[in-house]
Amino acid sequence: MIRRSFSVVGIMLTFILVFQACKTDEITTVKTATITALTCSSATFSATATSGASYTGTATVPYTGGNGVEYAAGTAVASSGVTGLTATLSAGVLATGAGTANFVITGTPTTSGTANFSIDLGGQNCTLSLPVAVSKASISTLICTVAPAIGTNGTAYNGTVTMAYTGGNGGTYDVSTASSTGVTGLTATVAAGKLANGAGNLTYTISGTPTSSGTAIFNLSLGGQSCTVTLAIAAGTSGTATAAKDTVVIAYSGTSASINNPYASSGVAVAVSGADVTVTSTNTTKEIVYLLSGTATKGSFKIYSEYRFNITMKGVSLTNSAGPAINIQSSKKGTINILAGTTNNLTDGATYATSKEDQKGTFFSEGQLSFMGTGTLNVTGLNKHAIVADDYIAISEANIVVKSAVSDGIHANDYFQMDNGTVNITSSSDGIVAEEGYVAINGGTITVNSVDDGIVAPYEGTDATITPYVLIKGGKISVTTTGDKGNAIKSESYMTIGTADAITLTVSGKGSKGIKTGGDFTLTAGTIKITTSGAAYYDTEDKDIAAPAGINCDKNLAIRGGSLTITSTGIGAKGINIDGTATVSGGTTNITASGAKYTYSSTMTSEAKGFKSDGAFVMNNGELTISATDDGLKSGASITVNDGTINVTKSYEGMESIIITINGGVSNLLASNDGLNTSYGTVTGGTEANDNSSLTVNGGVLIVGGSDGIDSNGNLYIKGGTTIVSGNEGIDINGNFIVSGGTLIAGGPNSNMTKSIGAASTQVGMFIKSSASLPATSIIHIEDAAGKDLVTFKPRIATSIFHFSNPSLAKNTAYKIYFGGAYTGGSFVGNSSGWGLYTGGTYSNTGATLKSSPTTSASATVNALTF
């Protein structure tokens, strides 16, 4: 009986154990989340993505065959096709059967098209495709400001980011959202709208609850431009400061450093040797913040990172006698946040320890550097560059002081861009260099004191994808260079300046230049002041003369606006020297080139010319004033004046070219030799042969004073406008002298080379020779028989030979010619100073001498008169 009972009990125990084993197996199996299908093609998106605009949205993706099990958040999946976005699975619980899962997509799409994400859930995979629309909005510059600037950990935050922009194209834009990094839990959103045409403001609304104390970072993009803003998050009411969960805290103290690393188990290793800190990060899901503070007299910060990161500088001072103070051995973007109210200092050593890695300066990065924050960063470069990146360098807002640099102050391998803040550089070589890229300055203040180039895009290689230009849309810039052949601002390609701020360039080295371009130069706005004091010299390496210049352009120049002042005082220094064409369409340009002539040999000289272009010069509008030791305005091809004002107040030759055409405007030229000269080139010993160069006056006002007022080795055609000339030889012409319209009054004392108006002229004229010279203090007046004033002219020097033609002159008509008298009221045509053609007043012949009362020929258009 007892045995039987034990047998029953044993059978029951065996059954229970088997049942429990099966139950355990069942529980273990259902812990893994599984689905049978993931349907990306049926996914929906919470927001529309647009190229170049910050995006935060949720993709809801259907699935089937869910087994009801909980699943964890996934890792970030980078987009392909259209890049710049990541998709991250949100944690959740599978439905039993059909359901949906959420993937959060963040970032800024780089282009339009389709962003593809290879996503996984419950053992299934599919490609999630997010359409990215073409942006209709475009802006030129962007400055962002957050308010209020401080939030509190655990407390709901409500604030704004004001995005001030210029260059809006009036295009529409969709809603744009960006989530915070560093301190998470916050979202910045701008509602859909329409840009202004030109300048305007957009407002992002920030909402949410900060998850920790520290710094919340927003990367905002819209209309092709980006800005980064920070929001300081204070500790809660308990007063205990909690580091942001994305922050690795590094505190330096003398020869040591302490570390607080919440990512020690998540791919971030921090090694410390004395005060030398080395970070190795394999984390690819978060933009981790490395908060640096304290002082190390012999220390450094070095980082290897597989994902973009943030270095926040909170009053840190590092001196590394054996290498860079900050050494970024990562190709990923590093955002450098210089906290408001802090001063940070970096100094390297004059000699670096041997390394197989690049280490080119005090603050070195293999990847992109983006500076932000309103604190101060002082950098001293004792070995080479002060701040250097093997990618681009962008400054959105910072106060950077390069106290000294053995080589360049800031050196980017790719482009350099600055939107706001201040940069102050003292360098023994160049100031700011974009080695294989461009320079774009949109705002802020830049001060450079360098030996060589101040700001330069120097690439001269063969890669057609690189355009080494300089573009200045804003910002106050001051550059001083002292070395031989130094350039304040230089680009190997084109340069464009259009800013409301002031630019001051001072160069003093031999052969130095204020602005130097290998391509075109365009000025649209700004107040530009260029001073050169260096002399020309013979460069033995180039086997040529290196001549200083305010602006030297290898291709074409266009001045469309702004105020440009150039002062060149060195021997052989020029104001503006252009290899191509030059066009002035607006603005005010003042040029002084006062140096003496530089002579290296009888065939190699450099003269102090005001404005010289090898190609055509065209004046469409604006004002150009020149004072020069040698030529005022010279073109190797042609000069055309359509409108505007040209004042040459001092020169050897005022205006010189092969073909000169005056269609409008006012040209007032004063020279010690030829006031205006047309010629194909100087012939030794001189010649009276017609070389077919020409001066044509179709309109406007031309005022010329010189030894020869007008000297054409070819032809002179006056078809309209007003031509006023005074010279030792008023008009010296080798070819045809034809007057068919307009007003001509010219005078001079020397008849040796003064020619009469050509007989083929169709408008009546007078060629007057007086035996008694008219003093420069007197006037010549011609009127008709009724007393109507045809011309009242005050010569610049004593004059006895005159040319006069006017549409009012008629054949077979009586006139009176007076020397002397008085003219009251009125002024000189073209605002010439002290001499010229009177207008707007009244002539009185009281005290005058009636020199002649001629009657013009009934047949000939040219009347030769003597008295």
DSSP codes of every residue in 535-582: PPEEETTTTEEE--EEEEESS-EEE-SSEEEEEE-STT-EEEEESS-E
Per-residue pLDDT tens digits for 550-577 = 999 999 999 999 999 999 999 999 999 9
Considering only CA atoms, which of 330, 344, 310 is closest in space to residue 229?
A: 310
> Which phi and psi (to 5°) does residue 820 adopt?
100, -160
pLDDT at position 231: 85
pLDDT at position 649: 97
Per-residue pLDDT tens digits for 119-148 = 999 999 999 999 999 998 889 888 888 888
Q: What percent of the chain has a predicted confidence (pLDDT) above 90?
A: 78
215 pLDDT higher than 90: no
548 pLDDT higher than 90: yes
Per-residue pLDDT tens digits for 2-58 = 444 434 444 444 444 444 443 434 333 447 999 999 999 999 999 899 998 889 999
Average pLDDT in the 518-526 region? 97
Per-residue pLDDT tens digits for 712-738 = 999 999 999 999 999 998 899 999 999
Q: Which residue has the higher pLDDT, 19 or 278?
A: 278
Whole-number Å distance between alpha carbons of 124 and 118: 11
pLDDT at position 688: 67
Whole-number Å distance between alpha carbons of 353 and 363: 16
- Paired strand residues for 705: 670, 726
| Least confident segment among 320-334, 678-692, 849-863 | 678-692
Whole-number Å distance between alpha carbons of 751 and 769: 9
pLDDT at position 835: 97
Question: Is the pTM here over 0.85, yes or no?
Answer: no
Per-residue pLDDT tens digits for 596-649 = 999 999 999 999 999 999 999 999 999 999 999 999 999 999 999 999 999 999
Give Dmax (Cα) for the chain. Answer: 169
Task: Look up residue 162 and give its two tokens.
Answer: 């004001």
Per-residue pLDDT tens digits for 413-436 = 999 999 999 999 999 999 999 999
Q: Which residue has the higher pLDDT, 681 or 370?
A: 370
